Amino acid sequence: MKAILLTVLVAVGPVPSAAPAEAPQLRVLAAASLTEVFPRIDGRPAYSFGGSNQLAFQLRQGAPADLFASASPEYTQSLFRDGLVERPVTFASNRLVLVVPKQNPAGIGSVFDLRRKDVKLVIGGPRVPIGTYTREVLRRLGLSSVLSKVVSQEPDVKGIVGKVGLGQADAGFVYSTDYRTATDRLLPIAIPAWAQPKVRYEIAVISRSTHKAAARAWIARLRGARAKRLLGTAGFGLR
C-alpha cells in the first residue's frame, strides 16, 4: 500500500501553493502641483489631479478613492474632523514664485512692478490653495490692490501655468515646482522670503477605502528615502 501511495504522489507531483493575491490598484486624489512627481514615485495607482478644494468636495460627495493628497492642510484637516479621512500626514512643502512669459512683454523685473505697470494678472481662485496662498503673499507685500488687475482666476495651478505660458497674461503666481516644469515657457520673479506663506502638503487615507492597509503602506513609501529623493529633485521641501 505504501508503495502504491508513493507512486501516486510521484506521478501527481507536488501540490502547487496558492498564488499570492495581487496588490490592489489604489485610487489617489492629489493636488495638481503633484501631477509630475507622483507618477515618478509610483506609476501603479490610478491618479486624479486637480484643485485640492474641488477634490475635497468630490470626496464629500462620495467619490471613490483610497488616498487624498492636498496642497493645503485646510482640506485634509477638515475632512479628518468630519471623520472622512484618517489622521493626515505631512510629507512635503513648497514655495511661491511669480512667473512671466519667456519674452516678458510687460517688462516685469520685480513683484512690486505689478503695482507700477499696467499688467494682466492671472491667479488661482479664492478657494484653491494656490489662490489662497497668493492672496496671503499680496497682503504681506502690501500689494492687495493689484487684485484689480486680475483677468482670470483658475481652478488649479496648471491653469495659471498654461495661460501665462501662452502669453494670455503678463504674470501669475504659481508654486516653484510648477515653474520648474515649464522653464521653456516661463521666467521666474522671486518673492521675498519674508512674504512666503507656509505651503504644507498633507496626505490621508480615506475612511471608506476598501484597501486601507495598502493605502497606509503607500504613505509609508511616500515618506521613504526614494520618494523623498524624487520630491527633492522636483523642488519640493521635505518633511
* Domain coordinates in residue numbering, the chain: 27-93+199-238, 102-195
Q: Which of 36, 5, 23 is nearest to 180 (CA)?
A: 36
Q: What pLDDT shows up at residue 124? A: 98
Report pLDDT digits (tens) over 60-103.
Answer: 999 999 999 999 999 999 999 999 999 999 999 999 999 999 99
Contact 67, 208 (CB under 8 A): no
Q: What pLDDT shows up at residue 159? A: 97
Q: What pLDDT shows up at residue 81? A: 98
**Rounded Cα–Cα distance for residues 73 and 39 (Å):** 22
| Pure H helices in the chain | 2-12, 37-41, 52-60, 73-81, 113-116, 129-141, 157-165, 176-180, 212-222, 225-233
Q: What pLDDT shows up at residue 7? A: 42
Q: What pLDDT shows up at residue 10? A: 42
Average pLDDT, the chain: 92
Residue 161 falls in which region: left (phi positive, over 0), alpha (psi -120 to 50) or beta: alpha
C-alpha cell at 185: 515657457
Binned at pLDDT 50, 70 and 90, residue 238 comes out as confident
Q: Output helix, strand, coil percentages for the chain, rounded to the nearest 5.
A: 40, 25, 35
Global pTM reads 0.89
Q: Do domains 27-93+199-238 and 102-195 have the same CATH topology?
A: yes
| Phi, then psi, of 106 in degrees rounded to 5 | -85, -5
Does residue 2 register a pLDDT over 50? no
Q: Which of 133, 222, 119 is nearest to 178 (CA)?
A: 133
- For the structural domain made of 102-195, what CATH number should be given? 3.40.190.10
Share of residues in the chain with pLDDT > 90 (%): 89
Give the length of the chain.
239
Question: Which homologous superfamily does the CATH classification assign to the domain defined by 27-93+199-238?
Answer: Periplasmic binding protein-like II (3.40.190.10)
3-state secondary structure of 154: strand
Q: What pLDDT shows up at residue 21? A: 58
Q: What pLDDT shows up at residue 22? A: 75
